Each structure stands twice: as C-alpha cells, then as structure tokens.
Amino acid sequence: MRLSSRSTAPKVSTARRNPAGTGTTPGPILGRMDGDTHDRIILEGMVFHGRHGVLPAERELGQPFVVDVELRLDLRPAGLSDELAKTVDYGEVHRLAKQVVEGEPAGLTETVAERIANATLEEHPIVEIVRVKVKKPNVRLGDTVLEGSAVEILRRRP
C-alpha cells in the first residue's frame, strides 16, 4: 500500500493579527481559527440560591441553581504580560452570575441564562463569545425526580 504525499489536513495560515490591529505578524495561529478564539476562561459549578420558576413554590421557597460560564477571548496578551488588566477577572464574572441568580425572579431558566450572558458581554468588551449553562438540580416532574434540568446558551458579540 502506497501512501500519498499529499496532506488532507486543513491548511492553517501562519500569519496572525498584530495586537494593535494593523497588518499581520508572521508565525503560527495558536488561539484563532475561522475568526473565533479558542482560548477560554471557564467557571464551573457556581451555586447560588434563586427564586426563579413558573410555580408559586419556586418563587416562594427558591432553590439552588448551578451556573457554568465559559468566556472566549484572546488570552495571549495576559499570558505574555502577566497583567490582570489584559484579561477578565473571573471574580467579576462570578459576581455578575450571583447578582443575576440571586436578583429579580424570572419565570424561565432561559431568562436567567440570557441575563448572565448579556451582563457578561456588556461589562467585558474583550469577551468575544460567552457560553452560559444554568442548571436546576433535583427537578420533580410528576412522580419522577430528575438529577436536574439545564439550559445552555452561546452568545457572540455582534
């Protein structure tokens, strides 16, 4: 069996955008393909008490909500400089998620996720994409108790 010398792997440009936004700098693309960054900051398993839901008991008693947030942004400037000002302080993202979940009640988990995504994009302009997952653990449906139900959304900066 003879192997072809032609590669079927996708070609990747070796030019990358200059941080100043002008021209290109030679070298491999490490964090970007097709215009999206592959660098991520991930916050998982943030648990807050909220009063969201369509049932009166959900509004009165409240329940735990588990939130995951993934931010996609170019982490190279922070990684090279070791400066917090060149990235997103994930303590601030935690604060936003907590403020939304523990704040004004919403009927739908989708609304909670949307509020977190919108607040994150609004307060952190260097974030290109945000993924938010909001889970309600131990959900009762009739005579069945689920491990949980969740909503996950992905929002891109316009």
| Residue 13 covered by a domain | no
If DSSP codes are grouped into helix, strand and coil, which group holds residue 37? strand
Which token pair is 127? Answer: 């974030």
pTM for this entry? 0.77
Would you state the torsion angle of the CA atoms of residues 129, 115, 97, 52, taken in this order, to the nearest 10 degrees?
Answer: -140
| Residue 25 covered by a domain | no
Q: What confidence tier does 158 reach under pLDDT thresholds 50, 70, 90?
A: confident
Of the chain, the percentage scoring pLDDT greater than 90 comes to 72
| Residue 86 covered by a domain | yes
136 is catalytic: yes
If DSSP codes are grouped into helix, strand and coil, which group holds residue 83? coil
d(Cα 79, Cα 68) in Å, to the nearest integer?
23
Q: Count of H helices and E strands in the chain?
A: 4, 8
Domain residues for the domain of 41 are 31-156
Out of 11, 86, 133, 136, the active site residue is 136
The predicted-structure confidence for 19-56, as pLDDT tens digits, reads as follows 444 444 444 434 444 556 689 999 999 999 999 999 99
The predicted-structure confidence for 52-73, as pLDDT tens digits, reads as follows 999 998 999 999 999 999 999 9
**Once rounded to an integer, what is the mean pLDDT over residues 127-153?**
95
CATH number at residue 87: 3.30.1130.10
**Neighbour count for residue 30 (Cβ, 10 Å):** 12
Number of domains in the chain: 1
